Amino acid sequence: MERIPILQVGEFLIVSIQVDLHDRLALRLQDELTSQVVKTRAKGVLIDISSLEIVDSFIGRLLNNIASMTRIIGAGTVVVGMRPLVAITIVELGLSLINVKTALNVDQGMALLRIMVNSTIEEGSDEPDNR
């Protein structure tokens, strides 16, 4: 089972990370996710990490990377379902999730993504007026 499924729900993609991510699998997830965003014209990516008991620097970097990559393509990324203990560990370890926005659950993550998407579109549509 060397593949993390990417589920399309309307204009969003949902990824639930449940297995230990080794280098190759993480790289594959990045590739497939960016391809899927382009292919499905998704406006946002939701990454569920409620199964993860540990978020180390490797996972932190992966989440940052995915968020940066999808943002360049034009989609937002929200990480959902972080366990309280994981949040504590992240702060105590001094890990930085700079590019990553978080929400409590998928529904709230979707709401956040909709706000992000709308604000991006508004910023974009303002541009012609400024010229």
48, 44, 45: which is closest to 83 by C-alpha? 48
In the list 19, 38, 87, 115, the residue contacting a second copy (rule: CB under 8 A) is 19
Beta carbon of residue 45, minimum distance to a second copy (angstroms, whole number): 14
Closest to a second copy by CB, 6 vs 100, is 6
Segment interacting with a second copy, rule: CB under 8 A, options 10-18, 29-37, 88-96, 114-122: 10-18
Verify binding: residue 53, a second copy, rule CB under 8 A. Answer: yes
Closest to a second copy by CB, 63 vs 110, is 110
DSSP 43-103: SEEEEE-TT-S---HHHHHHHHHHHHHHHHHT-EEEEE---HHHHHHHHHHT---SS-EEE
> Beta strands 76-80 and 6-9: pairing type?
unpaired
Per-position x/- string for 88-127, each x denoting binding to a second copy as judged by CB under 8 A, each - no binding: -----------------xxx--x-----------------
Question: How many other C-beta atoms can be found within 10 angstroms of the C-beta atom of residue 122?
Answer: 9
Task: For residue 97, give Cα distances in angstroms to 47, 74, 78, 105.
Answer: 13, 19, 11, 18
What are the residues binding a second copy (CB under 8 A)? 1, 3-5, 7-10, 14, 16, 18-20, 48, 50-53, 81, 105-107, 110
